[in-house]
Amino acid sequence: MGISAAPGMTSEEIVALSRAHTIFSWSVQGALDPIAIDRAEGVYLYTPEGRRILDFNAQLMSVNIGHGDQRVIRAITEQATKLQYVQPAFATEIRARLGRKMAEIMPGDMNKVFFTLGGAEAVENAIKLARHVTGRHKLLARYRAYHGATAGAMTLTGDYRRWANEPGIVGVIRYPDTHKWGEKEPRPVGEALQGLEDVIKYEGPQSVAAVFLETVVGTNGILIPPDGYLAGVREICDRYGIMMVCDEVMAGFGRTGRWFAVDHWDVVPDIMTMAKGLTSSYLPLGAVAVRDHISEWLDTHQFFGGLTYSSHPVSLAAALATIEVYEEDDLIGNAARMGEVMRRHHEALAARHPSVGAHRNIGLFGILDLVRSQDPWTPLTPFNGTSDEMKAIGKFFRDNGVYVMLANNSIHTNPPLCINEEQLAEGFAVIDAALDIADQAVTG
Ligand SMILES: Cc1ncc(COP(=O)(O)O)c(C=O)c1O
């Protein structure tokens, strides 16, 4: 059978054609060697040849309910059969029901959302809203942050992915992170907050529209804000009339063991962005949520945003069914419980492997930082780089059927929220073996 006569392609054929005719994200195309995936169920992916791979990162920390949930697939099918699309000026039952449900689970007086196709567009619309509502233009963001790959979101992004996309939009200014790369402990809360307030004063508070932050920083290192930090940012924003925008695209929808990460600290931002876990990635969907004071402002001012696929009925059906799965299976509770199990695995690995310099997790949002030496603190890679050891660890995971995300000197541990103790143990057993490679690099 020829390559064009699918179905039934081999991994080799799939990879060859995908590489020949499609561009992969964030990669030098000639250096790619992707794995072909045919189907997935629960926490496992399967290649066309039937090889099983444990998904220990829920893809991009997004397939929170796990793969292949028939309840969501049924909801998608039913909605697609009844009404596939109307343009967003129309109202639909699924829009009505999902809107009401989101108002129920979102923090405080957040009661209204604008639906987008993904996280970056949610961030773009957060930028618009913050600027329109305040009449100011400056946006404060941090270095250890990722907010998406569209123009505004990319400019807000602090990490290296921004560099090649510069110059970005005007008016973005950095304020200090809670955690400096290459240091084990976070900055003292007071120092981090003072740094933010200093920047606001230097810039002129009357020109600052918004302070953006990932509530718990994701790809830049699972950085959990120290207690008091978010409340401090809230207080500063209130004092200067600035919108506090929390990006929960990755941290939201149960990843941290609560519906939203802000719930751990009882802080309600003015604007919150979401995507990923909203549909568990079964279909593309993002959302930007606002508090009542912004909804009221929008009652008398035009909203200058729009997308052909805003409030797409089939994506909304996936979202409502996904939220019902979180509730029915108590996946948020499972994330909190399994987060405790994950912490014990992290602790055991840190005790056994000198290369594990630090570990953090909040719910099932976890990471191991690898070092050559703990004193002086020497990460296993340079900033924004890799090393022979990290490459060898990546190969080990691939050879041993576990998909994890590696970034800089870190191994992310972010499985689907439906994972159980046995499956966690299965993943951590492979990580345990992989860490032997890192241990050989330890010098002190
Ligand atoms: C915190 C955060 N914000 C925004 C985005 C962008 O979302 P998307 O890739 O859906 O545009 C991401 C994606 O990883 C993210 O982690």
The pLDDT of 344-358, averaged and rounded, is 98
Question: Would you state the pLDDT for residue 91?
Answer: 98
Q: What was the pLDDT predicted at 6?
A: 52
CA of 218 to the centre of ligand 1 (A): 9
Q: How far apart are the first and last CA of the chain?
A: 57
Q: Give the DSSP H or E segment for 411.
A: strand 410-413
Q: What spacing in Å lies between the alpha carbon of 286 and ligand 1's midpoint?
A: 9
Closest atom of ligand 1 to 219 CA is 16
Taking the CA atoms of residue 227, residue 247, residue 403 and residue 397 in that order, the dihedral angle to the nearest 10 degrees is: -50
Q: Are 106 and 251 in contact (CB under 8 A)?
A: no
Predicted pLDDT at 182: 81
Whole-angstrom distance, CA of residue 217 vs CA of residue 250: 8
Q: Say if CB 190 and CB 233 are below 8 A apart.
A: no
Ligand 1: which of 146, 157, 288 to mutate, judged by most atoms within 8 Å of the beta carbon?
146
What phi and psi, each to the nearest 5 degrees, are found at residue 2?
A: -70, 165
Handedness of CA 70, 71, 76, 79 (dihedral sign): positive
Mean pLDDT of the chain: 96
Position 1 pLDDT exceeds 50: no
pLDDT of residue 181: 85
Residue 317 · residue 324 · CB < 8 Å: no
Residues with CB under 6 A from ligand 1: 60, 118-120, 123, 146-148, 214, 218-219, 247, 249-250, 275, 286
Of residues 5 and 146, more confidently modeled: 146
Region 61-76: mean pLDDT is 98
pLDDT in tens, 371-424: 999 999 999 999 888 999 999 999 999 999 999 999 999 999 999 999 999 999
With H, G, I as helix, E, B as strand and everything else as coil, classify residue 209. Answer: strand
Residue nearest to atom 7 of ligand 1 (CA): 119
- Is 248 within 8 Å of 164 (Cβ atoms)? no
Give per-residue pLDDT as tens, 186-233.
Answer: 999 999 999 999 999 999 999 999 999 999 999 999 999 999 999 999
Q: Which residues of 361-390 are buried (b: 16+ CB within 10 A; e: fewer)?
A: bbbbbbbbbbbbbeeeebbbbeeeebbebb
3-state DSSP assignment of residue 306: coil
pLDDT digit string (tens) for 295-310? 999 999 999 999 999 9
- Rounded to a whole number of angstroms, the CA Rg of the chain reads 22
